[in-house]
Structure 1
């Protein structure tokens, strides 16, 4: 039964993030690109302030999978690297923490580009 509630919490957390994004798209002049950047920066700021870890504890994958989770991962990686390597960690920690996700995105993007052929919209 605990697994069921974990899914419910992930759905609610991820759904709320999507709802906020949809409201921003519908009700503001912000472009989707600006909203995506806002989500990543929000994750970094909330992660740096120590707030996002409580959201992750509640929402699980509903908090870590969206773009705010990517920003949180970057902030967490930088904090860990600064503790281990000093100021140089501020430059390397975020990319090191996100290396797996970045590699997967590049690999699967390349794989899809090989499989599918682009077509003109007209």
Structure 2
């Protein structure tokens, strides 16, 4: 991951509401959440404010929206979030940490969906 892309991601996460949104979407998994449900979870935040935050996260590549009927459903972009973690951990222990390498490899496989082993 290039530093400029990482900076955009970390910048998008550096707002309280956007960080809360990402954490909600990570919990929601690949199914995601409707924008209205996200607004309700943010103490009934104004839809225009939530829309602004979602667009910032989408612009940074951390979330993706899809239309389902009249709703827009947002999901975390797990590969992008994994890349941010990997960016931070890449040179851990001068690049010689087997534990971090395993964690980075596991993050890279995350799809937001439970595996058979998780069930």
- TM-score, normalising length from structure 2? 0.32
**Higher Cα Rg: structure 1 or 2?**
1
- TM-score, normalising length from structure 1? 0.31
Q: Which has the higher helix share?
A: 1
Higher relative contact order (CA 8 A, sep 6+): 2
